[in-house]
Amino acid sequence: MSALPIALVAGLLAALAVGAVYFAFNPPTPSSGPKRSMSANSQRDLLAAVVVGGVVLFLTRWPTAAVAVTAFVVSWRWLFATSETKVERAKVEAIAQWLEDLRDVVRRSSVAIEKAVELVAEDFTGVLAEPMNRFALRRRQGVRLPEALAGLAEDIAHPTADAAVAAIVLVVGGAAGGGRIYDTLDELSAAARDEMRARDEIDRTRRIFQRAMRRLVSLTILFVGGLAIFASDLLSPYRTVPGQIWLLIPCGMWATCLVWLRRLTRYDLGARYRLRLPEDVTS
């Protein structure tokens, strides 16, 4: 029993190591989701983690393993969640749809590009409905078109949208001929569709890796549980204080591997274009 405080310190060090690895790979960023639902999810995850960690501590008497399992359960939603990738894919699809709608309006009607942008924005629905509504509101308030488009690009925050806005601003300002705007929009929409196809391929590969990671975690739990039940003598060294300290090594390796696999599910967008509006554009 006298060794228990030292073992608890070892468990705390394990938790700090897992947390350090987590935040090194995933620095905290402002969340765009509803705070209430996220709070409820966090509470459920924390409750499940405490219960599972308590069960592991009761069965094994290993504070390091209990803390590591608790950290793993807390981060389970983050490790295996796909909501971020779905949101990003929906945004790319909406950008492609916006560019295709704008291209079709330019081709089928005689309105100028300035009016075409406003018409498409007023009738747009889906993921980009809110940025489009803000753009239309700016125009109704008398904001110049280039400035309203720059605000739209900031709201969408995607390189393809930046390129489209830059092309429209060049046409509006007279720096580029309006006859090529259709070809430009067509090429940009095709690029967005190509990005969607590439993301689909990456998603399929990601799902394979995630299924493999779930199987590996399950097999490890079953293996360790089987040893604890049928060959407990093999695990007796880990019941000592030095054993708990040495247990930090495999726990840290597991945490690093899981976080690294989680990073593979992210998409790295290209560098965004920062639009600098010329002073002589007054449309």
CATH number at residue 108: 1.20.81
Question: Rounded CA gap, 14 and 57, in Å?
Answer: 14
For the CA atoms of 104, 92, 205, 29, the dihedral, rounded to the nearest 10 degrees, stands at 180
**What local confidence, expressed as pLDDT, does residue 131 receive?**
92
For the chain, the farthest-separated pair of C-alpha atoms sits apart, in whole angstroms, at: 86
Supply 168's token pair: 């429209």
> Which pLDDT score, from 0 to 100, does residue 20 have?
53
Count of positions (residues) in the chain = 283
Judgement on whether residues 18 and 99 belong to the same structural domain of the protein? no
Q: What is the pLDDT of residue 276?
A: 62
What's the confidence (pLDDT) of residue 130?
A: 93
Final residue in a domain of this structure, among 139, 173, 196? 196
* pLDDT lower than 70: segments of the chain: 1-42, 80-84, 173-179, 264-271, 273-283
Q: For residue 274, give the nearest of 184, 176, 144, 154 by alpha carbon.
A: 154
Residue 166 three-state SS: helix
Residue-range definition of the domain harbouring residue 183 = 86-196
Same domain, 192 and 250: no
Residue 106 and residue 182 in contact, taking contact as beta carbons nearer than 8 Å:
yes
User: Is 92 in the same domain as 189?
Assistant: yes
Are 180 and 97 found together in one domain?
A: yes
Q: Are residues 53 and 113 in the same domain?
A: no
The answer to whether residue 276 is domain-embedded is no
Q: How many domains does the chain have?
A: 2
Q: Do 54 and 142 lie in a common domain?
A: no
Give the pLDDT confidence score for residue 133 in this predicted structure: 93
Identify whether 202 is part of a domain: no
Same domain, 60 and 92: no
Q: Give me the pLDDT at residue 16, please.
A: 55
